[in-house]
Amino acid sequence: MSDLRIGVIVGSTRPGRVGKQVADWVLDRASARGDARYELIDLADFTLPHLDEANSPILGLYEKEHTKKWAATIARYDGYVFVTPEYNRSIPGTLKNAIDFLYAEWNDKAAGIVSYGGAVSGARAAEHLRLILAELQVADVRQPVLFSTITDFEDYTVFKEPAAYHVAALEVQLDQLVAWATALRSVRAGAASAA
């Protein structure tokens, strides 16, 4: 197995959330590939208040223990799959807050996006997340995976076995993610040697 590490981030902490079910499916499918080490990163496992660091994350001068723990977690990955719901045409505030805590830990890494929501299957959240990631120098791959809470869940709460086209979309996304995450390792190595 490759030593490439990919974190699957559960982007919702809401009680009754369905994101963990989706993330578990992504993790199971991804782990079966053998091309990277995939691990779950659940925001519910981190106690991140509203951004409470005095310094800009760009400086990397973290003072709070919760920030240092979060930074150490994110820093050890080469790429990420963000699993996010769509709340009011965007990502959840908890996910945005968690992203905003850090800067260099995200830089020159790759990301895939799996979203879910109502009428447009979380597509607006995915597009908003792409804009945020670009500012952090994260290269998001093109292939989305979009689930509808109307058709891909029973009673909006139980994630159903995904259709074949969802499975195919995830495989393409992971192919792209592994390729980009691998390539960006050399970018990070070059930046480190130039520093």
Crossing angle for the helix pair 93-100 and 123-135, nearest 10 degrees?
Answer: 10
Mean pLDDT of the chain: 96
d(CA 40, CA 64): 23
Domain CATH for 29: 3.40.50.360
| Tally of CB atoms within 10 A around 80 | 24
Domain count, the chain: 1
The answer to whether the predicted template modeling score (pTM) of the entire model surpasses 0.75 is: yes
Q: Identify whether the C-beta of residue 110 lies closer than 8 Å to the C-beta of residue 139.
A: yes
Residue 99 domain boundaries: 5-194
Q: What is the pLDDT of residues 32-71, one digit of tens each?
A: 999 999 999 999 999 999 999 999 999 999 999 999 999 9
Beta bridge partners of 112: 81
